[in-house]
Structure 1
Amino acid sequence: MNDPTRAVTDAELETYDRDGVVVLRDICPLDWVDEFRVVLDGVFNRETDVGREGLVTGASRAGSRVDVAERVRQMMENHDVSTLATEPNRVPVGRNIVETDACSWHAGLRDMHVNGPLPPIVAALTRSERVNLYSDQLFMKEPGSSVRTPWHQDKPYWLLQGTKVAVCWVPVDEVTMESGVMGYVAGSHRWGKVFKPNDFVTLKGTFKLPGLSFDGLDELPAIDDHPEDFDIRRYEAGPGDVIVHHWMTLHGSLGNTSADRLRRAASVRFAGEDVTFYKRASSPEPFRNTVGLQDGDDLDGAERFPRVWPR
């Protein structure tokens, strides 16, 4: 077991409740971060034929993998560049790997989520007696990849219902404004709106996949067009830090425009005690048709979602 190096403070808990996001400095043991970095590199640099099939059919049991930089480069020939998810006037170079649901097939990664410092952190912030692991997403932005992660909200993507869903963003490198810092719209978790999911290759587009429905979802506000209208927080972070946000909080990241700085991080998603399974019509999760749960079922009913707290 790897416990946090310290407890979540009352001030941090208050910040999370108020803003929907909190930065927890120096809370993860650095030896755990070192091991985590090695595991992430093993996922990013492996030979693979895993593609987007899971997102298209919903039948995948092995997650999905996309080089977003490559997709954006391909789209530049036939699309208005200003609509694509890249920093202005930049052509992405290198890789921008997004690996979804790797913990479903990588036992070592799954063990680090289950037995590492994150479960007690989530239990404290969500005031939950019970916490389950939901899924993960891994990110590698190589120097110059410059692909932004557009503003989005996690709720429409996930097969969950409830209020105590928390996301731990765990960097294993020093993340700066130039290398792809994370940004959040403070307080947006209290707006009471669920927004259409972004497709992550355009700044404002959504998925065009069979079987999905976005009926009743709200249009995302024009945050980049009118940033002065929103309380935007951008947080530089590094090894040992964790940024935790509520799943209703709008967030995104800048592209890696640095010349030599690699930016690797993991988004690890947890469900607190009031959360149940819900086959959300807007969710493109790669495992949406393979879980075996019904709406309203506890997550304990699926091996995919192990209980991680209490230990």
Structure 2
Amino acid sequence: MTKLTEAQVDIFHRDGYLAPVDVFTAEEARSWRADLEAFERTLPPGPVSAGNRRKLHVRCPWARDLVGDHRLLDVMESLLGRDMLVFTSTFFIKEPNTDAITAWHQDATYFGLSPYEHVTAWVALSEASIEAGCMEFIPGSHRWGQLAHGQETLPGTINAGARSISQPIDTSTAVFAPVRTGQVSLHHTLIAHNSPPNRSNDRRIGFGISYIPTRLRHSGSKRMSATLVRGVDRYGHFDLEDDCRLLGAEARVAAHGRAYARYRECHSEQMARYGEVA
């Protein structure tokens, strides 16, 4: 797989998502999973903090390699053009035989980016079958506009902030989008999606990478940072993050701390707007 075909691009624009897309081999995905789990073993005992799930491409060279892999960037260029940033990245992990879900939501609600051209590439580092709790999309819902998201915290969901769509939506046409290890699914920032519990015997590990064209702006009061992964940034709407592959170990940790702290400021500010979106 290099760039998407015209037919695949048409499907993405029609449905708001495209899955599965063959990008990596299962062996490559398993190697990145081993890197992730080696990183996890360096963390303190107990629940993993959000900061150790998000923006790890600013800290871990292997994650930076993944978000900048030319094959994945070729795919994203088909949808976004050549000049691209990674706004954030998140490891979405459901442990085996657990009840964790992802409630119905739209990614756009959390990010404050405009116009609505952000696309998430969800890289499967393990099997994401229906049994394992793969994503479920409502085709065409990216044309509904920004929906209201409630202020109430939902137990058991791994959504950022544990929020979900609060207004009634029609889920009768929802479809599952299973992906095998190494495959990728792509979805538009406004598509309504969720995922059920992982009833399999293995961890369900997805790496969600938020790619945006460099022309996008952030609506928050604070200037945000992002990683340039292809092309040129002719706009300067974001502070460009350092390439952790060029930094020493301590500098990587410090760079990640700065980038994640700024992301959290953005996220907290956007959360205050959830109940106001019509």
Q: TM-score, normalised by structure 1?
A: 0.64
Match of 2:177 among 235, 254, 259: 235
Note if contact 2:225-2:238 (Cα within 8 Å) is conserved in structure 1: no
Match of 1:11 among 7, 14, 18: 7
Aligned to 1:153: 106
| Aligned mates of 2:43, 2:195 — CA distance in 1 | 27
| Aligned mates of 1:276, 1:246 — CA distance in 2 | 17
Describe the superposition over 1:138-183 as per-residue Cα deviations: whole angstroms up to 9, x where unpaired.
Answer: 0222211121111111112114222321101111222222211111
Displacement of 1:136: 0.6
Displacement of 1:206: 9.2
| Aligned mates of 1:119, 1:257 — CA distance in 2 | 32
Q: TM-score, normalised by structure 2?
A: 0.71
Displacement of 1:19: 0.8
| Aligned mates of 1:219, 1:238 — CA distance in 2 | 28
Change (3 A) 1:24 1:304: farther
Change (3 A) 1:290 1:15: closer
Match of 1:267 among 208, 218, 221: 208
Change (3 A) 1:24 1:273: farther
Letter in 1 for 2:194: G
Alignment of 1:142-221 (within 5 A): 142-196=95-149, 199=153, 201=155, 207=161, 220-221=166-167
Displacement of 1:187: 1.0
Letter in 2 for 1:138: F
Note if contact 2:32-2:62 (Cα within 8 Å) is conserved in structure 1: no
State the Cα RMSD in Å.
Answer: 3.4
Q: Which runs of 4+ in 1 moved over 6 A?
A: 49-53
Aligned to 1:117: 71
> Percent of counterpart pairs with the same letter?
20
Aligned to 1:298: 236
Displacement of 1:268: 0.7
Letter in 2 for 1:220: S
Note if contact 1:152-1:197 (Cα within 8 Å) is conserved in structure 2: no
SS at match of 2:22: coil
Aligned to 1:106: 60
Matched residue pairs, number?
234
In the alignment, structure 1 segments of 5+ residues that lack a partner are 54-62, 66-98, 209-213, 281-287, 307-311
Note if contact 2:215-2:237 (Cα within 8 Å) is conserved in structure 1: no
| Aligned mates of 1:197, 1:125 — CA distance in 2 | 30
Letter in 1 for 2:167: P
Letter in 2 for 1:25: V
| Aligned mates of 1:180, 1:113 — CA distance in 2 | 23
